[in-house]
Chain A
Amino acid sequence: MEEKYFEIEAENLKKFVNSLISDNFNVIAPKDKDGDTFYGKIDKFDEANLDILLPKMSYKEYLLPKTETLFEYSFSGADVDIKDGLASVTGENKKRVIFGGRPCDAAAGPIMEKVFNWDYRDEFFNERFKNLTIISIACEKPDNYCFCTEMQLSPESSYGSDILLKKEGNKYFAAVVSEKGLELITPYLSLFKETTKDKVPADKDWKKIFEIEKTKGFLDKNFEHNYFQDRFLSCIGCGICTYICPTCHCFDIQDEGNLKEGRRIRNWDSCQFAIFTLHTSGHNPRVTQGDRYRQRLMHKFKIYSEKFNKYLCVGCGRCSRNCPEDIDLKEIARDLSLL
C-alpha cells in the first residue's frame, strides 16, 4: 500500500488510544511494573510509559507465548480424546494493538514469520500475527547497547509496524504503512490531520559502527575459531539472552497432565542450555558454552540469513543489557567484523 501521512496532537493521540480501549481493542503498551517496564494491557492511555527506551522484554510473547497449548487430551478407558488447541487461539481475544513499542520490536514479527511459514505453516503463530496491529514510536535517543542501524534497520524504521509515530514537540507524525494500520485509524480520522511526506521530519543520518556483512563473512569461514571458546568462557549459560530476545524463537514440546487429562504444550527453550541438543545416548553435539554461544551467533548472522536473506537480530541490545556477565552482542558482532 502507498504510505499515508498524518499529524496528530499529543492530546488527540491520547483520545485515540482511549477510544480504542473503550471500543474493546486489547491495547498492549509499555507499562510500569514493580520498578521496571514491561509490555502489558493498558486500561487507559496514562498507564502507558512512552518515555522508556525499551521495556525489559519485547512483545514476542504476543506472537509466541512462553507456554501455549498445542492440544488438550483426556482419557476414557483405552480411548484418548484430543481437542485441537488452535481453536482457542482463533477465538483468543479480539484484535490486539501494540501501542508505543519500538521499531526494533516491530521488526521482529516479520523476521519470525519466515521461520514459522517456510514449508510447514504454523497457524498458531499466524493467527496471532494476523490479529496484531502495531503502532510504534521512533526512537530519539538509542543507547550504547542499541545496534538496529547495523542490523539493516534504524531507530526510525517502519519495517514490521503498521503505523510509525515520530514525536515533534507536542505532536506526532504518523506514517501509516499498511492496510491494517489504515483500517485501525479510519473510524477515528477526525483526530488525525492528513499531511504529506515532505512535511514529516526527515530521518536522521544514523551512523553504523560496523558492517554486519563482515560479521557474517567471518562466521562463514571460521566455525572452528578459538574466539568462540575463549570469549564465552565467562558465559554462565543462563539463557536470559534468548528469553529476552525479540527474535529467538526456539521451542520445546512437552506433555503435562495427570492420568485423566492434560495438554501438549510448546514452551520457550534456549540454545544456551546443554540439554537443548543432548542425545539419548549421552552424546552432545554442543559440549561447551562456547559451542552454544557460537550456535546463537551462527543462527542469527549466518544460518537464518542464508535461508531468508535477512538477519535474525534486530539490534535491540536486550541480550547485552540483561546479561549477568556483560557479554555484549554489539561488541561481539563488531569484533568479529574486524577479525
Chain B
Amino acid sequence: MENIYLPKLAEIKEIIQETSDTKTIRLTINSGSIDFLPGQFGEFSVIGEGESTFGFSSSPLRKEFFEFSFRASGRATTGINGLNPGDKLSFRGPYGNYFDTAKMKGKNLVFVGGGIGMAPVKSILEYCFDERDDYGKITVLYGARTVNDLLYKNVFDDWKKYKNTEVVITVDPGGETPDWTGKVGFVPTILEQLPLKGENTIAVVCGPPIMIKFALKSLEEKMGFDKENIITTLENRMKCGLGKCGRCNVGSVYVCKDGPVFTARELESLPNDF
C-alpha cells in the first residue's frame, strides 16, 4: 500500500542566487534527475516547515539534476531559503499535465515570460533547445519589473548561442539601470514590436496575471494568433497536488490534475474564478 503523501528526499546540488530575493535550487535523487515533463510541478518542502508548490524550471532532458525557482515569502519558502548545498529537501511529484511538445514540433515558437513566471517557460524552452532541430525559429521574450528582478541572467548567453534563436530581455519603464543594454517597456508592448505572425507559430506565455491578460490580447487581437496556439500555465494555491484537497479548482477544472498547462482556448471556457 502506497502512502501518496510520503515525500522522497532529494539532495541540494547547487543554489543559484537569481535576484536579491529569488533563488534556483538544483536537486538530485541518487545523483540524477527524476522523470518529469515540462510544465509539471512538484510539492517541495523542508521537513518541519510545510510544503510549497513549484513548477520545474529545468529541462527534463538534462539528466544530472532537476530544479525549481522560488521567492522566500512564507514559512515553507523561508525554510527552503535557509538551506545550503548538501542539505536535504523533501519532494513529491511530478504532478499535473505538461506542454504538448508533439503539437509544437516543426513550428516556430515564441516564449513569453514575466518575472518569476519565467520558471516553467525555462523548462519547456530549454527542452526545445535540447531538441533544437525539431523546431523552427525560437523567439524568447522575458521581462521583469527591474533589472534586479530578472531571473536566469546566467543562462541568457547560452540561449543566444542556439541557431535561429532571438532572445529579447526587457524591464518595465523605470526599472532599467544606467548600463542596461536590453529593452525598456512592458512585455506586451515589446511583444507587439517583435516580427512575429500567428501562422505556424506557437506561443508559450507565463507570468503575473496582468501580464498574461495583456500578452494574450496582443497575440490574439494584434498578431493573429489562434487561441489554440497560445499556451499558458495557471498557478493556484494547492496542498495535495492530487485532486483531493479541493482548493485549486477553477470552475470544474482542477489545476493540479487538469492543468497547470492550458491553451488560451481552454482558459476562455473557464469561469472567472482564478
Interface string of B177-207 (1 = CB under 8 A from A): 0000000000000000000000000000000
Assembly CA distance A224 to B87 (angstroms): 48
**Residue of chain A at shortest CB distance from B51:** A253
Sorting the interface of chain B by its residue count into under 10, 10 to 19, 20 to 34 or 35 or more gives: 35 or more
Least CB distance, A289 to chain B, in whole angstroms: 15
B132 within 8 A of A: no
Proximity bits, A111-125, B CB within 8 Å = 1, else 0: 000011011111110
Q: For B247, give its contact among A71, A119, A271, A283 (CB under 8 Å).
A: A271
Instruction: List chain B residues, Cβ under 8 A from A27.
Output: none
**Does A78 interact with chain B (Cβ within 8 Å)?**
yes
**CB pair A121 B273 closer than 8 Å:** no
Residue of B nearest to A312 (CB): B246
B48 CB-CB contact with A under 8 Å: yes
B125 contacts A by Cβ under 8 Å: no
Interchain CA distance A187-B13 in the complex, whole Å: 61
With both beta carbons as reference points, the residue of chain A lying nearest to B49 in the complex is identified as A255
* A85 CA to B209 CA, complexed, in Å: 38
Asked whether A271 and B246 contact (CB < 8 A) given A78-B87, A262-B48, A302-B252, the answer is yes
Given contacts A252-B245, A298-B251, A303-B249, contact A86 B271 (CB under 8 A): no
Of A131-139, A272-280, A331-339, the segment with at least 4 beta carbons within 8 Å of chain B is: A272-280
Interface assignment of B102: CB less than 8 Å from any CB of chain A = no
Q: Of the candidates A253, A257, A279, A303, which one forms a contact with B240 in the assembled complex, judged by CB atoms under 8 Å apart? A: A253
Known contacts A78-B88, A250-B245, then 20 further A-B pairs from the complex at CB < 8 Å, ordered by chain A residue: A70-B3, A78-B87, A80-B9, A82-B47, A86-B1, A90-B1, A115-B243, A120-B4, A123-B1, A123-B3, A224-B272, A250-B247, A251-B246, A255-B45, A269-B245, A271-B247, A277-B237, A278-B237, A291-B273, A303-B249
Chain A interface residues (CB < 8 Å from chain B): 70-71, 73, 75, 78-80, 82, 84-86, 90, 115-116, 118-124, 127, 223-224, 249-255, 257, 262, 264, 266, 269, 271, 276-281, 283, 285-286, 291, 295, 298-299, 302-303, 306-307
Q: List 7 A-B contacts (CB under 8 A).
A: A78-B86, A86-B6, A120-B244, A251-B240, A269-B247, A276-B237, A285-B274
